[in-house]
A and B are shown apart, each in its own frame.
Chain A
Amino acid sequence: MVKTPVPAEENVAPGHMGCPGCGACLALRLALKALGKRTIMTVPACCWAVMPGVFPYCSIQIPVLFTAFETAAASASGVRAALDAKGQKDINVLAWAGDGGTLDIGIQALSGAVERRDNIIYICYDNEAYMNTGIQRSSSTPIGAWTTTTPVGQTRAWKSEPKKSGVEIMAAHRIPYTATACVSYPEDFVKKVQKAASIVGPKYLQVLSPCPAGWKSDPERSIQIGRLAVESTVWPMYEVEDGVYTVRKPAKKVSVKDYFRTQGRFRHLGEKDIEEIQKTVDAEWELLLKKETMTARK
């Protein structure tokens, strides 16, 4: 057997309907490598509700429950309750949803499940907009981005609100484990998913998944773009375990401009706009490092 950098097991079959260079496809492939066959997942309306293929085929090779847009967490809670009633303890329950389904319409279900301490893994694959329905803004769309509902053209009405932080919201719930991840770092993502599976109680991961169609980027650069998001600290990689922050410092630091230049959704931004965003990104990063220092176990 050849030794592979991430588990060799595949639980997603080729022939799915994801666009070429789709980060979300890679995200699920990696997550199910980490969790293995004894997993039941729930998927609300999102790209991943379409990408498994047309009935009666499904590229996801574990049991999947397709549910309504706002119900990823609630349905996962239900699956867990049913398994508990049957006395089946050794099965992972995964809620797998997009950023819109998680941070907009699904947030109350998620908040409820986490507050009740339901034993589920919730993974939000974050492509930073409602991609499945044609690139509408979500609360996870970053400031400055073009979407079809934050248009540029003459109105210059690109998104002016900052991105909502899923992981901070989860940390405020005193969740046992929450972390950010990015598909450009598969070993790291697999490790975080496995760690989540080993902890009893609610777990929340948010994995940045570049979307060539929605970000107006080259499909072949999806991995590079994720890497630049992390290196620019636009997408900081960190974990919060029982309130303790651990931040992964990028080996190389790049500017926000280097990251933005790779994507058409930021093309309209001028030097001044990018400078402003750079300042906020730097301030957020400083704050995150302070949280790490403040919460460090003595």
Chain B
Amino acid sequence: MSRQPRSYKDLPLAPITYEDTREAFKTGSWRTFKPVVDNSRCKKCWICWKFCPDMSIRILEDGTGVEIDYDHCKGCGICATECPARCIEMVPED
């Protein structure tokens, strides 16, 4: 939070936001089930990525599959339901 204001003198004239929510809100703690991906069976259709309402699925740079952002994934299970290869499994959080 390097840009967090220390006094009113640091504040802008109008309310503006400093940062996005990525660091401040780790919504992964909301989860009861977590998606676990088996990339060996991934068909690279990116359907899971396309439907994620939490921007919590990243396509691996080399295109070999996807990676879940467990800091933010809320465990809704849309990815597991929509995956045509059924290579995402929802497992209970421990």
Contact = CB atoms under 8 A, between A and B. Distances in A.
Nearest to A226: B51
B63 A15 contact: no
A10 B20 CA distance: 12
B80 to A, nearest CB: 7
Given A15-B27, A223-B82, A224-B81, A56 B53 contact: no
Contact of B76 (A6, A20, A186): A20
B24 A15 contact: yes
B81 A59 contact: no
Contacts, number: 116
Contact of A61 (B20, B26, B50, B63): B20
A61 B74 CA distance: 21
Given A4-B49, A5-B50, A18-B54, A222 B22 contact: no
B21 A21 contact: no
B53 A29 contact: yes
A16 B27 CA distance: 8
Interface residues of A, number: 39
Q: Determine the main DSSP class of B at the interface with A.
A: loop
Interface in B12-70: 15-27, 30, 44-47, 49-56, 59, 61, 63, 69
Contacts of A26: 51-53
Contacts of A6: 50
B21 A13 contact: yes
A222 B51 CA distance: 10
Contact of B59 (A4, A29, A57): A4
A275 B5 CA distance: 61
A14 B71 CA distance: 9
B87 interface: no
A120 B69 CA distance: 35
A57 B53 contact: no
Contacts of B26: 15
B21 A14 contact: yes
A59 B63 CA distance: 27
Contacts of A14: 21-22, 27, 54-56, 69, 71-72
Interface in A171-223: 186, 212, 218-223
B50 A186 contact: yes
A2 B20 contact: no
B19 to A, nearest CB: 6
Q: Which 10 A-B pairs have the closest CB atoms?
A: A220-B77, A15-B21, A14-B72, A13-B20, A20-B76, A21-B76, A15-B25, A25-B53, A58-B17, A20-B74
